[in-house]
Structure formats: C-alpha cells, structure tokens
Amino acid sequence: MDDDELGPKELQRRIKDEHKVVVSYKRIFYGKELAMQQLHGDWHDSFNNPYRFKAAVEEASPGSFVVIDHHEVNEKPRFNRFKGRLAVACALDGHNWLYPVAFGVFDLETIENWSWFMEKLKDAIGIPPGLAICTDAVEHRECMVHLVSNFKKRYRGKVFDDNLWPATYAYNPYYFQKHWKAMADAKPAAVKYLRDNHTKLWTRSQFNTLCKVDYVTNNLAESCNNWVKGHKGMHLDSLLDMLRRKLILKFNKRRKIAQKMEGKILDHIVKHLKERSRNLNMDNSAHPTLERFHGGGLGYRYLVNLKERTCTCRVADFRQTLLACNSYDHLHRNEKLEDFVDMYYSVEKFRAAYAGLIPALPDKSQWPESSHDFFLYPPLLKHVAGRRKTQRHKGSAEGGSGRKGKHKCPICKNLGHHCYTCKEGDPNDIAEMLATR
C-alpha cells in the first residue's frame, strides 16, 4: 500500500478499476487493518511504545525533554480506538516561516490537559523575554476568523465590512477607536455584542509589543495542521517518530539555506529595504525625534525616535524594524539602513535557530527497552458514533464549501447523480453494477 491514508471506499474503487474484481467493503476494511498492523505494529502496543521512544531519544540526544504522564486504573480498561489531539507550540523565524517548538498528545481538549501541556512547555524552554506561560500575565488573544464568522450570523452591512477588519489590523489605538466609533454609531448593539461575548484581545492596538507575533488569525495553527495532516491516522509511536523525522528534514533544508546567506540582514529584508528606499529625500536634521506624515502633509502625524528605534504608530514595535513604517526616509546620508533593523532579522540569528542537530534513530524494533513496570493502555474515551476522521473539513468562512460534498457517480466519475440515473455511462456497466448491488 503506497498511501496509508487511503480509505476502504477508495481502495474498493481502485481494486475494481485495476483488477476488475469486486470486493466487499467489510473485507477491504479488515484487510487494510491487517496491512497496517504488519506495517506499523500492533495498535495496542503503540501507546506503550512511547516509553521506548523516550529512552531512544534521551540516549541519542542527552538533555532532550520527553515527559509521559498517565492515570492509574484498578482493572483492565475497555477502550475504543484513540481519537486524541496533537498539541503543538509554534513560533516564527526571521523569514516568517513556521518553527515547531514542542509537541504534545492528549485525549481531549480540556483545561486540565492544556494546563499540563503549558506547564511542561514552561519546564522545557523556561520563560524567554516577552513570553508568559502559566502566569497571570498571559495575554489571551482570539482568532479573528472565528470572531467574524460568529459576528456575521447576527450583524451584517457595509459599515462592518469597512471597519471590523481595519479595526483588527490597526496598530495605533487612534485608528482602532476611529473604526470602533463608526460601528458604534451605526449599530450600538453590535459593539455591545463584541464587548460582552469576545472579551479576549483581537486587535493589534491592544497587543503587548513584547511579543513580536502580530497575527490576528489562526494561520500559524493552520499551517502546522497542514504540515502534519497526512500522518494523523498513524499509530501513536509511529506518529511521534514521523514528527521527529519531519523536523530533521525541515531543519536540514533550512540549515543549507542559512549557510548560503551572506551579509548582516536576511535577503528578503534587504530587498524590501532597497525597494522602499529608492528616490528618498534624506533629512539632515540632527535631532533624534522626527515627524512622519501618513496620508500626505495634512494627514496623520507620528513621532519617530531614530535613537531608540521607535515610532508612535507602533508598527515598528512589533516588526522590530523601522522600514515597516517608512521612517528611515529621514536617515542621515552616512547611516546604513541595515542598522535600523533588529537582530531578529539577522543572518546570525537565522543560522543559530537551525544550528542544532537532531540525531537519527533506528526503527522502533531497535529502540531500547523501557524500565517502567506496567503496560500503558489507551485513554478511556466515550463511544462516538461514526468512524475516525483523518481530515479536517473547512467551514464556509475558511474557504470550504460549508456543506457536504456531492455524490460521485461510480460509472462516469462525475458529481451530482447516482449510477442508476447516469446518462453518460455505458448502459451495460450500469446494469452490471445494479445487478451486483
């Protein structure tokens, strides 16, 4: 089998098309289960093998942080197939690329499980500047895509189309209040709904500038979900090993990119600097605080401090570069534009991010034996109707259809009708299929 994610229905179709044999769905289902067991091992052992995976990782890479917690029961549990959750802590590098930091697996998205994951994350990486974990200083943000999806179920109109998203993207509190007032004047009940039901932070004007990630959507989580979606149906031990292998490939690829880089600042930042700095009128003023106009000479005015690398528009406070707000057009002629870009975008920092080597491991049959004296069973779960889902269905607000897919005719392969109403297929094929059913 070249693709573990193929379902029984697709396998049934391929067997019929390629080998001209009609096999029952049930036989294909159990045949695939047997093949998966031969490829990846017994499903029941996959929850006990992470202890061996932990021992292999700690042996190959001393200092690695691998934690396994469990609940004790007095009798052998009765369980169904695991429908767990993969938790991932992600960051961004200087190229705005996804940078996985930590992985976790638990049964359900509960406060207890998320607290456990965040506590272990804190133990693993500590508390870097600008990052608050498991404290009262944590900044709770809300995905704007889901907020807008809920908001549009109650309130619609041009005033919200013109002001809701701009209020979200506004870095400066003045701009936020401007768009907020426009919505409040048009529909006071709408802003009351936002104030009462969406109490978390959803506008950049309220974000703490110590954290340099200014995302207002869940794009980072969706990118990570897309990165691992092809392996969600694997056994737990195979999934953990696959994530480790994917990290090795990603880090090796970006390490090669970093080795080819030259200069002080990343290439895409330098390119952006050059594009934005053409034909600029340099100001020879010696005062460190300058004025910058937005929208022409009679537009909005911000104060730029070249010495402290700040601007009252707050864009530079997040992006850590004055090129984000065009304030470098006042630089002296003897100053370099690269000096006004933070070290977050430096080649040195990018190389350091991928300098660590992830050691290779043998296959799981060669992992060292664990010293734990019990067998770890899958978690106790409530029975859920239906089979396991291997793909996430997007809603209409996320670019999906927002409804179930159309039926695909097995005769002509077109959508929207069944085989017994097919008008494009061979009548003999239709009669044969109806006879087998």
pLDDT at residue 380, as a whole number: 66
Residues 94-111 have pLDDT tens digits of 888 999 999 998 888 888
Mean pLDDT of 19-45: 86
Higher pLDDT, 244 or 420: 244
Mean pLDDT of 144-156: 90
Asked if 291 contacts 313 with a C-beta cutoff of 8 angstroms, the reply is: no
pLDDT at residue 94, as a whole number: 87
Q: In one letter, which amino acid is 79?
A: F
pLDDT at residue 221, as a whole number: 85
Cβ-proximal residues to 110 (8 Å cutoff; 6+ apart), any chain: none
pLDDT at residue 284, as a whole number: 47
Q: Does the pLDDT at position 165 exceed 60?
A: yes
- Closest by CA to 268, choosing from 352, 350, 325, is 350
Q: How is 409-433 classified by DSSP, letter by letter?
A: PTTT--BSS-GGG-SSS-HHHHHHH
Q: Does the pLDDT at position 126 exceed 80?
A: yes
pLDDT at residue 225, as a whole number: 85
Higher pLDDT, 305 or 162: 162
Q: Which residues of 307-339 are buried (b: 16+ CB within 10 A; e: fewer)?
A: eebbbbbbbbbbbbbbbbbbbbbbbeeeeebbe
Does the CA dihedral 391-392-398-401 come out positive or negative? positive
pLDDT at residue 81, as a whole number: 57
pLDDT at residue 282, as a whole number: 45
Mean pLDDT of 289-301: 52
Place 296 in a pLDDT band, splitting at 50, 70 and 90. very low
pLDDT at residue 321, as a whole number: 55
pLDDT at residue 292, as a whole number: 52
pLDDT at residue 195, as a whole number: 92
Asked if 121 contacts 135 with a C-beta cutoff of 8 angstroms, the reply is: no
Q: Does the pLDDT at position 339 exceed 80?
A: no
- Which has the minimum average pLDDT: 134-143, 295-304, 417-426? 295-304
Instruction: Give start and end residues of each alpha helix (H) in 173-310.
Output: 173-186, 188-197, 219-228, 236-259, 267-276
- Closest by CA to 44, choosing from 377, 374, 364, is 377
Report the chain's mean pLDDT, rounded to a whole number. Answer: 80
pLDDT at residue 281, as a whole number: 46
pLDDT at residue 418, as a whole number: 85
- C-alpha 258/C-alpha 251 separation (Å) is 10
Listed by start position, the domains of the chain span 144-206, 267-345, 406-437
Find the angle CA(35)-CA(378)-CA(3) to the nearest 5 degrees.
25
pLDDT at residue 223, as a whole number: 87
Structure tokens at 297: 């000479």
pLDDT at residue 23, as a whole number: 92
Mean pLDDT of 314-328: 58
pLDDT at residue 398, as a whole number: 60
Does the CA dihedral 389-25-7-32 come out positive or negative? positive
Structure tokens at 435: 């006879």
pLDDT at residue 191, as a whole number: 92
pLDDT at residue 222, as a whole number: 85
Q: Does the pLDDT at position 171 exceed 60?
A: yes
Residues 172-198 have pLDDT tens digits of 888 999 999 999 999 999 999 999 999
Residues 362-418 have pLDDT tens digits of 988 889 988 887 877 777 666 556 666 666 666 655 666 555 557 788 888 888 888
Centroid of chain to Cα 95: 16
pLDDT at residue 330, as a whole number: 46
pLDDT at residue 180, as a whole number: 94
pLDDT at residue 326, as a whole number: 47
Structure tokens at 77: 């549990």
Mean pLDDT of 295-308: 61
Bridge partners (DSSP) listed for residue 99: 91
pLDDT at residue 354, as a whole number: 93
Cβ-proximal residues to 162 (8 Å cutoff; 6+ apart), any chain: 182
Residues 358-370 have pLDDT tens digits of 888 998 888 998 8
Mean pLDDT of 127-136: 73
pLDDT at residue 140, as a whole number: 85
